[in-house]
Amino acid sequence: MQPHHDSIFWIEVEKIKPNPFQPRREFDQEKLASLAESIRQYGVLQPLVITRRDIEKEDGGIISEYELIAGERRLRASKLAGLLQIPAVIRREEDDDKVKLEIAIIENLQREDLSPIDRARAFQRLVDDFRFKHIEIAKKVSKSREYVSNSLRLLALPEEILNGLAAGNISEGHARPLMMLCDRPEEQSTLFKEIVFKHMTVRDAESIARRIAYDKVRKKDRFVDPELFDLEEKLADKLGARVHIERKQVGGKITIDFTSIENLQELIDAMNKREGENLQKEHISAMGLDETEEEEASFAQENTPTETPFIDVHSHERPTEEVSHAHEEPVVVNDEDDEDLYALHKFSL
């Protein structure tokens, strides 16, 4: 005899098998303990949803098997609370696997939210196993099609980032800019670590991801001077920060990314500590001088007292460098055509 659809039965806890389509992978043990304490005091207020299958034994007897559809947290907490029986609504035996998964997902979404990864994997199973379209899933869970599609895109992230998202080290908002860098795995991993260790905001992460994506487009432009990218990489390596150099008709602009005021001060300190000799060598290397010219430039640098300027973040004035020309031979000024386009003074920070 088929039980009434809305009837509530008391079923032995140990006879209920878990739902093989349960989308939730992780259960917070502290929350389970809290729920178990509540069940000890007030009982199970919301019945489980299960299916029953009657199996005929060899001796002619009948044995009933129960499989959970919805309510695994309540079932686990009831076991912790020491309950022997639990209230349950028995669904029709003919309910197929698609219905079981459907109910499990909806039940979890309506109660304690699934983690973004568990939700995405459950949606993917509806797509793979039951041929659901995104719009059909959206209607089932009362969400937009974009919500479902964006959830599924999370699964394109590498395992390292998926684990961080499941553990709560980053938010679903942080995952969006990381998805922009799926074709640049090294920089994606670097940005992920920066988000975790520097507690970066979603807005800052999006800004950096857009900058990286923009640089990729620039590098595909055949008219962009490859020397600029070489200089960017050298400067970024020395400062330990992302650098973007933009050349204009006269001079250019250098943009250096920083994540906080403290990080900005570290960059300024690093630049102030650079000795004049090291800066001169970088300048000579950028100009591509031959050995004779390099020796002449080194000799002039040794006999020219220089002072490394101090950069004040609160001042908009450009630092100047006083150079003493005492006891020096007259210097021949080259034409504008010979002027180095990549000289450091041509760029503003």
In this structure, the number of other CB atoms found within 10 A of the CB of residue 174 comes to: 23
How does pLDDT run across 88-140, given as a tens digit for each residue? 988 876 556 777 777 777 776 665 567 888 888 888 888 888 888 999 888 88
Walk across the sheet containing 48-56 and list its strands: 8-12, 85-91, 48-56, 62-70, 16-17
Residues 6+ away with beta carbon under 8 Å from 228: 245, 247
Q: How confident is the model at residue 283 (pLDDT cuts 50, 70, 90)?
A: low
User: Quick one: pLDDT at residue 86?
Assistant: 93
Q: Domain 1-114 carries which CATH code?
A: 3.90.1530.10
What would the mean pLDDT of 274-294 be, rounded to a whole number?
56
Residue of 273, 275, 320, 271 whose CA lies nearest to 301: 275
How does pLDDT run across 147-174, given as a tens digit for each residue? 899 999 999 999 999 999 988 899 999 9
What would the mean pLDDT of 14-30 be, rounded to a whole number?
79
In this structure, the number of other CB atoms found within 10 A of the CB of residue 198 comes to: 13
In this structure, the number of other CB atoms found within 10 A of the CB of residue 187 comes to: 18
Q: How confident is the model at residue 182 (pLDDT cuts 50, 70, 90)?
A: confident
Q: Is the pLDDT of residue 177 over 50?
A: yes
User: Quick one: pLDDT at residue 318?
Assistant: 47
- Would you please indicate which residues are annotated as catalytic (active-site) residues? 72
Q: How confident is the model at residue 304 (pLDDT cuts 50, 70, 90)?
A: low
